[in-house]
Amino acid sequence: MENEILYVEGMHCKSCEMIVKDVLEEIGVESKVSHENGTVEVTFDDEKVSLDEIKKAIKGEGYEVS
């Protein structure tokens, strides 16, 4: 299992947190999302999903990821 912290721009509220958490859950990624810190801590199996796929899923919801 891999663990990474991503910085996400554009999350402003708890609703934003839930959107990001839900989209990551759909692709099999566990996450801890904080709109206050602008971070998403992800835990994932890199044999099933890549970090690029995770970033793409978040970007697909309208957020910027670094």
pLDDT at 44: 97
Q: What is the pLDDT of residues 13-39, one digit of tens each?
A: 999 999 999 999 999 999 999 999 999
pLDDT at 21: 98
Torsion sign across C-alpha atoms 43, 66, 21, 17: positive
Say what the pTM is.
Answer: 0.94
Torsion sign across C-alpha atoms 25, 56, 40, 62: negative
pLDDT at 27: 97
* Best CA proximity match to 49, nearest among 25, 26, 32, 27: 27
CATH code assigned at 21: 3.30.70.100
Domain that holds residue 54: 2-65
Number of domains in the chain: 1
Q: To the nearest whole number, what is the mean pLDDT of the chain?
A: 97
pLDDT at 65: 97
Extract the tokens encoding 1. 């299992």
